[in-house]
């Protein structure tokens, strides 16, 4: 449709209109990416009606649910509006931007910063006085359409399930489902699997141990379902498998439904308060349904004290996405296998451990305290910031160089870009001349496509350089400014909050945990190899390589408190050196910790061992499980098989 408005578009830069286009599809099965191109073409048609002149388009085309408010493209759009980079923002309809009233707020940001916003399908133009009420009305319609469609689909699918067994779930182990099957009546029971399923249920009833059944399934070669991500059985897989009443001939639907979490806009699955509905399919029963329900009741009773609490605020992770977690959860990685660390290490809520170890893929099952690790990380960041105080002049010079090279004269980078464009244009002219002389050929078409792709890449780089020239780089002007900025962030955020974790993940891009041991023996102790980027939340620092190198450090972080013999070693050795005839009891009395005589003796022996081994530190890295540690026997279990994360390479210690 055409936009009728008397407002004239005037480029801010005086020569080229900068237009932002937002296109989005939900990414559902029946949607095609061609729809994104259709939205972009529609927006360009609207611009052609309003403006006759050179136009630069900045397109944001994504897949994602329109109700989600934590989509990264929304942050990018708002940043473009606030920096006044755009002259015009076009979105086909407000539902493509956000399916909710957040779209009105973004239009308000555009209006406040002098960016005209147009939604042709909703007949909204911020040049019109009634744009706000029109936008609110459009948002109401989009939210209502979404809600009504959801209710209609849920009702229709449940009716098909109850009526004739339609809307099937994905098949699980023990069943044969053809591609043509549309209902549960068309499923077949795998007779070869019945014996294993029945024997597994008998073993589960006797032991109430899902891991024992998993070992049995793996031993006899009973394969998991075709949609299983991992091919081996684990205890959690067995529990999920026998919870499915399909094994007793009663498939169900409606175990959960979704509710909207308004803070993020996302819908989260919760237990259906009305309960599921079941349909009887005797031909699919591997076991007796009464026996299956009885075993599940016994397992529920056994595990009732270990499940997460619901209601009364007792579950701190209720309605919180798994990736939204405290630092260093979902960020620390095991140095040996590369798998990430997870909370709840060895049954201790505040500890983390290697997730690969939980799956019997890594021998490193030693946990470390997450809050202690976060506190030590903040301390080492603060210490590195203080070391920058003596580099005021060097820091300021690097900042000035970065501004001159990137924002001032185009310099060598701009000249290289121009030469590359001229060379590419020459290649294209020669190729067109060859096509005219020899006729069309397949290799000519491939070469022409390659040239066009390079031309597009150069155009994007030129556009990026233009944007950099139009603004000043966001850089910390001095170490003092950087230190004050981070200290304000640390004071504002609680150390156990997800927001604090988001900040530390920017400041600490790498966090690898490995084990060390005292050179005279003892337990394994966790140590972290961390990479610190002191300007992690200043987005333009990577554009200044010299400054980025100055602010990037590689450090070692001890995630443990030293044992007593190590804490007193230095003082004890100094006293013993000054007074060689002094007894251990006398040395102990002069130490503030007041250790026992055996501990003082161990400290002196530790120092002698360090000297004989030529060590400056009592800690030595551990590269494989020590054979003398009886509590570290995971690698001896028949289930164990070391499997590092695909493509993982250990960083050098």
Does residue 3 have a pLDDT over 50? Answer: no
Does residue 534 have a pLDDT over 60? Answer: yes
Q: Classify residue 468 as exposed, middle or buried by CB count within 10 Å of its CB (0-12, 13-18, 19+).
A: middle
**Mean pLDDT, the chain, whole residue set:** 85
pLDDT at 155: 92
Instruction: Examine residue 328 and say whether the peptide bond preceding it is cis (omega within 30 degrees of 0).
Output: yes
Does residue 505 have a pLDDT over 60? Answer: yes
Does residue 614 have a pLDDT over 60? Answer: yes
The whole-number average pLDDT for the span 341-349 is 88
Task: Give the range with max mean pLDDT: 41-45, 69-73, 258-262, 434-438.
Answer: 41-45
Sorting pLDDT into bands at 50, 70 and 90, what band is 329? Answer: confident
User: Which has more pLDDT, 143 or 449?
Assistant: 143
Does residue 220 have a pLDDT over 70? Answer: yes
Tokens of 69: 């408010």
Does residue 119 have a pLDDT over 60? Answer: yes
pLDDT at 439: 72
Q: Which of 314-318, 623-627, 637-641 has the lowest mean pLDDT?
A: 314-318
Between CA 556 and CA 650 the distance in angstroms is: 15
Proportion of the chain in helix, strand, coil states, percent, rounded to 5: 50, 15, 40
pLDDT at 321: 61
Task: Give the range with max mean pLDDT: 43-47, 436-440, 454-458, 628-632.
Answer: 43-47
Tokens of 534: 């002191």
Cross-strand pairs, 428: none
The whole-number average pLDDT for the span 164-180 is 93
pLDDT at 391: 67
DSSP designation for 514 = E
Q: Which of 39-53, 307-321, 326-340 has the lowest mean pLDDT?
A: 307-321
Work out the percent of the chain whose per-residue pLDDT is above 90.
46
479, 385 contact by CB (below 8 A):
yes
User: Which has more pLDDT, 307 or 73?
Assistant: 73
Does residue 320 have a pLDDT over 70? Answer: no
The whole-number average pLDDT for the span 207-214 is 92
Sorting pLDDT into bands at 50, 70 and 90, what band is 34? Answer: confident
561-576 residue pLDDT tens: 999 999 999 999 999 9
Does residue 431 have a pLDDT over 70? Answer: yes
**Sequence-separated (6 or more) residues with CB below 8 Å from residue 55:** 16, 17, 18, 19, 47
493, 520 contact by CB (below 8 A):
no
Helix (H) / strand (E) containing 145: helix 131-164
User: Which has more pLDDT, 528 or 636?
Assistant: 528
Task: Give the range with max mean pLDDT: 29-33, 66-70, 151-155, 287-291.
Answer: 287-291
Does residue 408 have a pLDDT over 50? Answer: no
Sign of CA dihedral 70, 59, 34, 104: positive
Identify the three-state secondary structure at position 30.
Answer: coil
pLDDT at 466: 60
User: Which has more pLDDT, 231 or 393?
Assistant: 231
């Amino acid at each position: 449709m055409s936009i009728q408005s008397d407002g004239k578009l005037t480029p801010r830069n005086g020569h080229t209109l900068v237009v932002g286009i937002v296109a989005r599809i939900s990414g559902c099965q029946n949607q095609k990416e061609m729809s994104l191109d259709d939205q972009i073409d529609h927006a360009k048609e609207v611009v052609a009606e309003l403006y006759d002149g050179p136009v630069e388009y900045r397109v944001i085309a994504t897949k994602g649910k329109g109700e989600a408010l934590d989509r990264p493209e929304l942050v990018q759009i708002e940043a473009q509006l606030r920096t006044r980079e755009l002259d015009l923002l076009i979105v086909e309809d407000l539902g493509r931007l956000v399916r909710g009233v957040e779209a009105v707020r973004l239009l308000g940001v555009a209006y406040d910063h002098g960016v005209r916003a147009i939604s042709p399908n909703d007949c909204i133009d911020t040049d019109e006085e009634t744009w706000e009420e029109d936008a609110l009305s459009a948002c109401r319609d989009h939210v209502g359409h979404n809600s009504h469609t959801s209710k209609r689909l849920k009702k229709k699918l449940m009716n098909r399930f109850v009526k004739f067994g339609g809307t099937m779930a994905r098949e699980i182990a023990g069943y044969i489902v053809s591609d043509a099957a549309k209902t549960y009546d068309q499923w077949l029971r795998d007779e070869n699997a019945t014996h294993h399923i029945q024997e597994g249920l008998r073993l589960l009833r006797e032991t109430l141990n899902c891991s024992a059944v998993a070992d049995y399934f793996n031993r006899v070669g009973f394969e998991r379902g075709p949609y299983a991500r991992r091919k081996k059985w684990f205890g959690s897989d067995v529990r999920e498998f026998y919870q499915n009443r399909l094994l007793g001939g009663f498939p169900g639907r409606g175990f959960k439904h979704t509710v909207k979490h308004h803070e993020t806009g996302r819908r989260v699955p919760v237990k259906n308060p009305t309960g599921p509905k079941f349909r009887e399919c005797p031909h699919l029963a591997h076991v007796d349904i009464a026996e299956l329900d009885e075993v599940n009741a016994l397992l529920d009773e056994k595990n009732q004290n270990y499940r997460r609490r619901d209601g009364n605020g007792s579950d701190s992770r209720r309605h919180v996405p798994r990736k939204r977690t405290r630092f260093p959860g979902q960020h620390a990685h095991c140095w040996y296998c590369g798998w990430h660390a997870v909370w709840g290490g060895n049954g201790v809520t505040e500890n983390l451990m290697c997730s690969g170890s939980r799956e019997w893929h890594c021998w490193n099952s030693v946990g470390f305290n997450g809050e202690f690790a976060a506190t030590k990380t903040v301390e080492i960041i603060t210490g590195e910031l203080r070391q920058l105080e003596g580099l005021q002049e060097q820091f300021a010079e690097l900042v000035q160089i970065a501004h001159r090279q990137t924002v001032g004269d185009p310099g060598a980078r701009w000249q290289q870009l121009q030469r590359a464009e001229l060379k590419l244009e020459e290649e294209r002219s020669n190729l067109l001349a060859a096509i005219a002389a020899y006729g069309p050929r397949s290799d000519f078409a491939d070469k022409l496509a390659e040239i066009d792709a390079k031309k597009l890449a150069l155009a994007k780089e030129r556009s990026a350089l233009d944007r950099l020239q139009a603004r000043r780089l966001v850089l910390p002007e001095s170490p003092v400014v950087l230190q004050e900025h981070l200290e304000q962030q640390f004071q504002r955020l609680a150390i156990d909050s997800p927001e604090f974790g988001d900040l530390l993940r920017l400041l600490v891009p790498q966090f690898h945990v490995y084990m060390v041991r005292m050179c005279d023996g003892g337990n394994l102790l966790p140590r972290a190899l961390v990479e610190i980027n002191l300007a992690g939340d200043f987005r333009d620092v990577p554009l200044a390589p010299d400054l980025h190198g100055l602010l990037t450090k590689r450090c070692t972080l001890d995630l443990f408190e030293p044992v007593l013999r190590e804490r007193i070693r230095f003082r004890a050795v100094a006293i013993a050196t000054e007074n060689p005839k002094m007894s251990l009891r006398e040395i102990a009395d002069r130490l503030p910790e007041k250790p026992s005589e055996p501990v003082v003796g161990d400290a002196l022996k530790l120092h002698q061992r360090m000297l004989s081994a030529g060590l400056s530190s009592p800690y030595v890295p551990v590269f494989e499980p020590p054979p003398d540690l009886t509590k570290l026997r995971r690698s001896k279990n028949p289930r164990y098989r070391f499997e590092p994360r695909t493509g993982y390479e250990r960083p050098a210690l």
